[in-house]
Structure 1
Amino acid sequence: MVQTLAAAGELQRDLQRELTYDGLRAAEAKGNKGGRRPALAGETVTDVRAAYLGGQSIAALARDHHVSRGAIRTAVADLLPEHVTAGDPVPAPELAVREPRHRSRRVTRTPRNLPAGYLFPGV
């Protein structure tokens, strides 16, 4: 009984996944793009990019256009300086060396109800 219900649930999941993918493919064929719409679009992006190249800060642009700084960064992403270029070698970080901690040694005892050579057969 449980196996039958599990098989029916799996069939339902597969059907739903297939229908979802069909819908996404149909929307893509129509030219629709999935995802959230950008906060800045069209002419505003051109204005923001020109202002950024003119020396205005990202925070000031965000205040002026009433959007987040992330939205401004997205609009000017290709104009932002890269942190590390591919040609620059990056040195490996030095790791701190620690002295090992001394732990007290625990004495392991054999259980009293086991035969003498059970844990250590050669003894």
Structure 2
Amino acid sequence: MPGKVADFLRATELEPAERAALDQGVTIRRGQGYTLRVTAVCAVHRQLLARCRSLDGAAAIPAQRKARREYENRVSTLGSPA
């Protein structure tokens, strides 16, 4: 998960399973930013993705919109919904 998405999700109200997945994620430094490696079932990733839909709006900066799209692409490759 891109760091901009992780930062946004940390500031929102999450379910206990979603919060636990974020808290147990491993931070990997990448250039100027970071990636959060989150190990969770597909359903949790889809829930997290649904919570960050507001990053598609006009209020989000372009980097946040791109980060959300990248995360969506990664989640879509995980397979069928659980």
When normalised by structure 1's length, the TM-score is 0.20
The structure with more radius of gyration? 1
When normalised by structure 2's length, the TM-score is 0.26
Higher relative contact order (CA 8 A, sep 6+): 2
Higher helix fraction (1 or 2): 2
